Structures are given as C-alpha cells and as structure tokens.
Amino acid sequence: MNTAVAVADVAGSGPGLGEGRPVALVTGGRRGIGRAIAIELASRGYDVAITDLEDDEEASITLRGIEYHGGRALFVQSNLGDVASHVAVVEQVLGWADRIDCLVNNAGIGSPVRGDLLDVEPRAFDQVLGVNLRGTFFMTQAVAKHMLSVASPHPRSIVTVSSVSATMASPERAEYCLSKAALPMMTRLFALRLAKCGIPVFEVRPGIIRTPMTAGVAQKYEARFGEGLVPMARWGEAGDVAKAVAQLVGGSLQFATGSVLSIDGGLSIPAF
C-alpha cells in the first residue's frame, strides 16, 4: 500500500479562498458513505479534505462534488493503518486550511474472507483491527490534539462511523465485528476527555447500506429484506448516513456528547 501523502486541490489554493468556512476532514472519503458525507458537508458550508488509499477517478468525483457545492476540496493519499503517517496527514490539511473543525472517522475495511470463526487467521485479525480500531483511534488522537491547540470561530466535533456490527454478532466476520465493537468505547473515552473543551464526540452506527463494500452480498441481503430482516424493508443509502453525520457536526446539539445514532431502518431493535 502506498502510504505517501499526495495532494490534489481541485478548487485551487490561495489567500482568501474558502475563508470563513468551517473545515472538515473525512477519512475514507473517496467513494461510498465517505463520498456522501463529504459532499453533504460541502452543501452545508464546509471546506472538505478527504483521505483514502487511491488517488483515482473515484476520488476526483468526490472532489468535484465538494467543489460543486462551493467548498474547497483536498485529497490526501494515505493508509489509515499506517499510524506513523497520521501527523503528516494532519499537517498537510493544516497547511491547506489552517485548522480542522470536524473529523469524520469513516475509513475502514471489511473482513478479507467471510467464513468460519474457527478459521480466522492472525494476519487478517491484525489487518482489520489495525485499520478499523488502531488507525481510527490514533487519527482521532492526532486531530484532537490539534483542536485543543488552535481556536476556531466554528463548532468543533468528532464523529465516528461504526456499524451495527458494534453490537450485532456475525460469526463469519469475527475480526470486523470485534473492530467495530471497540469504537463505542473509543467514542465515550474521547467524549469524556474533550467535553470540558466544548468538542462533542459522536458515533453513527449504520446498518445495511448500499455501497461498493456490500455489493458482493447484495443478493443475500435483498432476499433477507423480504423475510423481515430490516423493519423498514429496504437498503439504507449512503445519503442516509451522510445526513445523520451532518446533523451532528453543526453545533446544534450543545448538551450532547458520547451519543450513538443508529441509521439502520430498525435492524438493531430487539424484537420477537
């Protein structure tokens, strides 16, 4: 994996561009849920930096979408699992925008192979937890340190996109479930640490969302929708998650932190 930091500022750069707009950093913003979040935030007045592994046409589509809505757009090529690169990623964003007002932890990977819990290999376990948990934790730490060191005229916030797998067990995806199960605790820990500083920390917990990551199991899920798996009986869309994130980051929930918002059509509601 290429861990070098590369930048493409499609909206240009220079004094005064985007001045006064809050700045968001969305990890894994190249496509899917990350793209939807980045564009939704741009539509609500943010300049947006995105990170991802690949600098390709998918990333360019996201950048153009941000720019279409009036935001400046920055791409930083990075591997979230490479914790040593996080400081360079944050510094690259700060060199472009001077501050980060909002961090959206969206980047993550699925289980390399779905299969028997008894066949999970240490390499796959380490890879998934290294990105989804370790990488997310240390990226949050790096951005939180910056937020505490620089004043901003805008509300600050941190939102982590986790999964219903934080609480719902799928034995064929053990390492993925374990990586997501730790994120609610991470959210609570950072919420407590940053509460006195006025920086709320939230978790958004999507259910079955139509994205490139779920394309390979689409038929399986669609069959189960007919069996009542999801009370709302449909796919969630990336835009559903994006709108939830946008509601949390704007500063309107001034006495809330550490909260979880489930975007799953009722999937996780215990029922019989």
Give the pLDDT confidence of 37-65 residue by residue, as tens digits: 999 999 999 999 999 999 999 999 999 99
7-263 has which fold?
Rossmann fold (3.40.50)
Distance CA 181, CA 77 (A): 27
Please name the amino acid found at residue 170. S
- Given CA atoms 85, 8, 128, 183 in this order, what sign does their dihedral have? positive
pLDDT at residue number 218:
77
| Distance, C-alpha 76 to centroid of its chain | 15
pLDDT at residue number 2:
36
Please name the amino acid found at residue 52. D
Residue 193: strand, helix, or coil:
helix
pLDDT at residue number 224:
82
Q: CB of 51 within 8 A of CB of 80?
A: yes
pLDDT at residue number 19:
52
pLDDT at residue number 221:
81
Distance CA 82, CA 77 (A): 12
Vertex 52: Cα angle to 187 and 102 (nearest 5): 40
Place of tokens 């509300």: 155
> Bridge-partner residues for 263, per DSSP?
206
pLDDT at residue number 7:
37
pLDDT digits (tens, 9 = 90+) for 221-263: 888 888 888 999 889 999 999 999 999 999 999 999 999 999 9
- List of the chain residues with pLDDT < 70: 1-19
Q: Which residues are catalytic?
A: 176
Q: CB of 24 within 8 A of CB of 105?
A: no
- Given CA atoms 212, 69, 3, 181 in this order, what sign does their dihedral have? negative
Helix axes 122-129 and 174-181, enclosed angle (nearest 10): 30
Distance CA 142, CA 87 (A): 7
